Amino acid sequence: MSFFKKIFNKEKKETLDKGLEKSKTTFFDKLNKAVAGKSKVDDSVLDNLEEILVSSDVGVTTTLKIIDRIEARVAQDKYVGTGELNKILREEIAGLLSEIDSGNATDFVVPKHTTGPHVIMVVGVNGVGKTTTIGKLAHQFKSQGLNVVLGAADTFRAAAIDQLQVWADRTGVPIVKQEMGSDPASVAFDTLQSGLNQNADVIIIDTAGRLHNKVNLMNELTKVKRVMQKVITDAPHDVLLVLDGSTGQNAFEQAKQFTAATEVTSLAVTKLDGTAKGGVVIGISDQFQIPVKYIGVGEGIDDLQVFNKFEFVDSFFK
């Protein structure tokens, strides 16, 4: 299979390799123990592999798909040595991700719209790295020479507004905000108006991350979108859900909750560098059929990367 072509630059690839180091080391420590003393891939190896994939937060549904694919390879090839397992795993996971719209870009891209700026509404619970992701996105877009405007529509917490202000100052982009407790839809409305007035290319709207009452969350996000459309008819163009990769299965649960509350069109998975749970990206990509657009593989301002499934799998199984 000719899935793997070197398309990232060297620096980005090294950052990705380093960011996935903990996940990779933990996975292969388990895999090496599972195949110790075995010469061929048999049922016991596959049972152990299934357990390893599930414990690496790939998720049960996706794990079973991967095991089925490997069983088919083993049956077809008659004899598969354990030394080939890494290569087969790498190819079959890349093949699985190739069957879904799971990220194949190499750089930050902003679509053009006849109605005005590209509008991204960012959702996610508190603490997942939502504000940091917005700040790093703003930095990436601005570094391409694009005009970016931020909107602080998470008015539930004063800290959220203050944090976004810090990122606006750091990246040198304008921010639209109101007092804590203000109507989030009003902030979104003002932000889109301001973005139009400033000929913005990209508008990024932060929203509150409360999940204690899904009905309220749904109503709030629906209202924010409806009010935005009074200014730009097809806004938001992207509803980006930010998930903390270090929480493993909890990230799956958050994805379920938010996809039930609003129409999520893309995902960002953060904090992959501090965890051994990098497999969550594979599972979430497959299970929700929503493209993973960005991954966080470090704390630096440039360590938010566009997710490329081939480069990710290549780094994970290197």
3-state secondary structure of 119: strand
Q: Is 128 annotated as a binding residue?
A: yes
Amino acid at 262: T
Which residue from 59, 56, 63, 67 is spatially nearest to 22, judged by alpha carbons? 56
Q: Is 19 annotated as a binding residue?
A: no
Q: Is 214 annotated as a binding residue?
A: no
Q: Is 151 annotated as a binding residue?
A: no
Q: Is 267 annotated as a binding residue?
A: no
Q: Is 115 annotated as a binding residue?
A: no
Cross-strand bridge partners of residue 104? 308
Q: Is 129 annotated as a binding residue?
A: yes
For residue 239, give the H/E element and its range. Answer: strand 238-244
What would the two tokens of residue 305 be? 């990367």
Q: Is 131 annotated as a binding residue?
A: yes
Q: How many other CB atoms are there within 10 angstroms of residue 45's CB atom?
A: 19
Q: Is 222 annotated as a binding residue?
A: no
Q: Is 72 annotated as a binding residue?
A: no
Q: Is 209 annotated as a binding residue?
A: yes
DSSP structure string for 41-102: --HHHHHHHHHHHHHTT--HHHHHHHHHHHHHHHHHHS--BGGGHHHHHHHHHHHHHHTTT-
What would the two tokens of residue 158 be? 């004063």
Q: Is 273 annotated as a binding residue?
A: yes
Q: How far apart (Å, rounded) are the C-alpha atoms in residues 43 and 47? A: 6
Q: Is 61 annotated as a binding residue?
A: no
Q: Is 126 annotated as a binding residue?
A: yes
Q: Is 272 annotated as a binding residue?
A: yes
List, as residue ranges, the binding site: 124-131, 206-210, 270-273
Q: Residues comprising the binding site for GTP?
A: 124-131, 206-210, 270-273
